[in-house]
Chains A and B, each alone.
Chain A
Amino acid sequence: QKEVEQDPGPLSVPEGAIVSLNCTYSNSAFQYFMWYRQYSRKGPELLMYTYSSGNKEDGRFTAQVDKSSKYISLFIRDSQPSDSATYLCAMSARSGGGNKLTFGTGTQLKVEL
Chain B
Amino acid sequence: DADVTQTPRNRITKTGKRIMLECSQTKGHDRMYWYRQDPGLGLQLIYYSFDVKDINKGEISDGYSVSRQAQAKFSLSLESAIPNQTALYFCATSDFSGELFFGEGSRLTVL
Tell yes or no: B60 within 8 A of A by CB: no
* Alpha-carbon gap, A55 to B56, bound state (A): 35
B40 contacts across to A, CB distance below 8 A: 8, 105
* Alpha-carbon gap, A92 to B98, bound state (A): 10
Given contact pairs A41-B104, A43-B4, A43-B104, A95 touches B98 in the complex (Cβ within 8 A): yes
**Chain B stretch 1-36: residues in CB contact (< 8 A) with chain A:** 4, 31, 33
Chain A: residues with CB nearer than 8 A to chain B?
A: 4, 6, 8, 32, 36, 41-46, 49, 88, 92, 95-101, 103-106
30 residue pairs bridging A and B, Cβ less than 8 Å apart: A4-B42, A6-B42, A8-B40, A32-B98, A36-B100, A42-B105, A43-B4, A43-B104, A44-B90, A44-B102, A46-B100, A88-B43, A95-B98, A96-B96, A97-B98, A98-B31, A98-B48, A98-B94, A98-B98, A98-B100, A99-B48, A99-B56, A99-B58, A101-B45, A101-B98, A101-B100, A103-B42, A103-B43, A103-B44, A104-B42
- B58 close to A44 (CB less than 8 A): no
Number of interface residues of B (CB under 8 A): 25
Q: Which residue of A lies closest to B93 (CB)?
A: A98
Given contacts A98-B100, A101-B98, A103-B42, 14 further A-B contacts (CB under 8 A): A41-B104, A42-B104, A43-B102, A43-B104, A44-B43, A44-B100, A46-B99, A97-B98, A98-B33, A99-B33, A99-B45, A99-B56, A104-B42, A105-B42
Closest CB in chain B relative to A56 CB, distance in Å = 15
Partner of B92, one of A42, A49, A98, A105: A98
A105 contacts across to B, CB distance below 8 A: 40-42
A36 contacts across to B, CB distance below 8 A: 100
- A88 close to B42 (CB less than 8 A): yes
Per-position 1/0 for B75-111, Cβ under 8 A of A: 0000000000000001010101111111111000000
* Alpha-carbon gap, A97 to B16, bound state (A): 34
A44 contacts across to B, CB distance below 8 A: 43, 90, 100, 102
Partner of A45, one of B41, B43, B58, B102: B102
A106 contacts across to B, CB distance below 8 A: 42
